[in-house]
Amino acid sequence: MRRFGVMLLVAAFGLAGCIEEPQPVDSSELPPIATTAAADSPSAASAPASAAPEVYTNGNPAGKAPVPPEARAVDTSTPTWVVGDGTPAGCTSEKFVAAVAAGGLIRFDCGPDPVTIVVKETAKVHNRAPRVVIDGGGKVTLSGEGKRRILYQNTCDQSLEWTSTHCQDQETPQLTVQNITFADGNSTGDKTEGGGGGAIFVRGGQFKAVNARFVRNRCDAGGPDLGGAAVRVLSQFHGQPVYIVSSTFGGAAGQGGTCANGGALSSIGVSWTVLNSVFSYNSAVGRGANPARAGTPGGGSGGAIYCDGNNFTVRIAGTLIEQNKANEGGGAVFFVSNDRTGTMSIESSTLRKNPSAGFETQGFPGIFFQGAKPPSVSGSTLSK
Given this model, what pLDDT does residue 56 score? 52
Asked if 342 and 308 touch (Cβ cutoff 8 Å), the reply is: no
Chain-centre distance for alpha carbon 115: 19
pLDDT by 10-residue block (mean), the chain, 384 residues: 34 33 28 29 33 63 97 97 97 98 98 97 97 97 98 95 90 97 98 96 97 98 97 96 98 98 97 98 97 97 98 98 98 98 98 98 98 98 97
Query: What would the pLDDT profile of 314-364 be if each residue is shown by its tens digit?
Result: 999 999 999 999 999 999 999 999 999 999 999 999 999 999 999 999 999
CA distance 141 to 214: 9
Closest CA to 150 of 178, 116, 182, 181: 182
Given this model, what pLDDT does residue 31 score? 28
Cross-strand partners of 368: 334
DSSP letter, residue 208: E
CA distance 71 to 67: 6
At residue 243, the 3 state secondary structure works out as strand
The secondary structure of the chain in percent helix, strand, coil, rounded to multiples of 5, reads: 10, 40, 55
Q: Report yes or no on whether pTM surpasses 0.75.
A: yes
CA distance 214 to 185: 9
By DSSP bridging, strand 6-12 and strand 15-19 are antiparallel
Residue spans per domain, the chain: 2-383
Rounded to the nearest 5°, which phi and psi values hold at 186? Answer: -155, 110
Count Cβ atoms below 10 Å from residue 202 Cβ, excluding itself. 27
Given this model, what pLDDT does residue 57 score? 73
Given this model, what pLDDT does residue 90 score? 97
Closest CA to 160 of 188, 122, 190, 187: 122
